[in-house]
Amino acid sequence: MANSEQTWGITPPISSVLPTPVENHATNQLLEELRRQNTFETPKETKKRESILADLQRMANEFVRRVAKEREPQNEVLIRDARGEIFTYGSYCLGVYGPGSDIDTLVTAPRYVTRDDYFKYFPSLIEEMAPEGAVTDLTVVEDAFVPIIKFEYWGISIDLIFSRIATLKQFPPHGELKLTNNEYLRGLDDRELRSLNGTRVTEEILNLVPEQSTFRLALRAIKLWAQRRAIYANIIGFPGGVVWAMMVARVCQLYPKAAGATIVSKFFQIMKVWQWPIPVQLKPMEDGPLNVRVWNPKSDSYHLMPVITPAYPQMCATFNITHSTKAIIQRELERGAELTDKIRAGKLAWKDLFVKHTFFTTDHKYYLAVIATSTTKEAHKIWSGYVESKVRVLVGDLERVASIAIARPFNKGYDRQHRVKNDQQTLEVQNGSLAYRVKDDDSDDDKPKAKENGIDSKTEVKTEIKTELNTENPEVKAENGEPMNISFKSDPGDPNVKMDNIPSVTSLGTKIYTTTHYVGLELAEGKCIPFFRFTYIIRAASRTDNQFIVIPNLSSITC
């Protein structure tokens, strides 16, 4: 069968009609708008990324060479031919990166190189081999779900993960190692399999779309839309970049010859009526060499919006979507469909699709804030990440409260720094006060933790609110689209609240780091306003770094 007649995906296409001049014109208009929205970076910045990846490749080669010398110091051939291989995944690999996007990077090495070797050698190699001043904020997280080294390289965020290829003692020449080969999965532990998964999924997506240029243009538009509407964050319970990519790819399969603007319109038309929990799949399920669990529609029927990764072992990438986030996603898809219909009719322009969210202005009347607090920058990176991963758990608990219809988490946390002088000021900061906020080390105020695809998130929602929330006046109002300065009152009647457990300012030091996550609440119809009693959960990460999180005592939500 000729390639032009190929069936893409698991079903025949809906239409294989070539684009009309009108559709091509709409695509050109979409491209122009995406350029105006600053989703493309300059050639100079792209060359900087390529240079960084070349540096990382040299580091990977030196890393493997040093391990080879340690393992077999007399084996001159092994040492001479020792090399690693750098792969990318995510937005860079898909070709939809922009100003501010990070580079998700995978280091692979032969079987004699272990993960312990990676964390022993690679962090120091980065600092040793990088140009002076190029690397900042280097953080090593060995016990993460996917162990990672994070750092900034000439201002670009790098997430660096690792895996062996247990079936190879020597790698083929540079560029010839193909991770889509399932045989390379043999002999790996779970963490190594997860590390390989990102690159394998990304490469499979690109292999499964009819026209990569059309796919990339449409995906840029959908990513921009999802970020502007605050429904882009896998860890919080919304689709992440790879999920939106798979959904767009499925629409490309159904309209293999359509123009980019048509794919965007069809995306909303199809996804708003998708019969969940029927999964979005790019290819049939396949067998592989491992005795591992893969997604099963019967045993995994609790998944609300299943989107299945195309690389073996195929898994659901949307397992963390909650009832609330699903409802918000569906609302936004319906809104997007209405807007693109009007754009196609000439009644609106593409810029209207990318109008930012109104989470802090008109979307909600009631808000909940989750505040993670630390006393050192290094500890806060780990602690705030842990708290962020638990926000969707809190949302799930809130959904079980009868008076709450929807608990919508905002898709980014807000990082702030504060300087305090006494115990009372420390307590106020822990309770959400912004009165002692100072500019951080990078001279930026209130930075949301994510920045991707050319959208500097800190410009989307600024924070300078005077309104406070307390238990005497539960109504929250927001001004100018900004998050609230929310002050929570502790409940002296709750025996679990022990104020003696709050460390003194001397143990905290004078600088405090906080990350605040916001949850917008919609009450069930006919229900009264919920009353929250707030308690402290106090956790100590070490003997010197006391860290706090303020969340509601769910058992005491009453009317």
Q: Which residues does the annotation mark as catalytic?
A: 91, 102, 104, 159, 223, 232
- Pair type for strands 103-110 and 156-165: parallel
DSSP secondary structure code for residue 417 in this structure: E
Cis peptide before 277 (omega within 30 of 0): yes
Residue from 281, 312, 277 nearest 297 by CA:
277
- Measured in degrees and rounded to the nearest 5, phi and psi for residue 64 equal -65, -35
- What's the rounded Cα separation, in Å, for the pair 25 and 262? 11
Residue type, 31: L
Contact, 401 vs 530, CB < 8 A?
yes
- Cβ 480 vs Cβ 462: under 8 Å: yes
- How far is CA 99 from its chain centroid? 16
* Three-class secondary structure of residue 189 per DSSP: coil
For residues 79 and 18, the answer to whether their CB atoms sit within 8 Å is no
Asked if residues 517 and 543 have their Cβ atoms less than 8 Å apart, the reply is no
Helix ranges (H only) for 14-75 are 21-36, 43-71
Residue 314 has, within 13 A of its CA and on its CB side, a CA count of: 23
Q: Find the helix or strand (DSSP H, E) in which 517 lies.
A: strand 511-523
Q: Among 98, 335, 364, 325, which Cα is nearest to 225's?
A: 335
Give CA–CA dist 37/33, Å, rounded. Answer: 6
79 φ, ψ to 5°? Answer: -70, -40
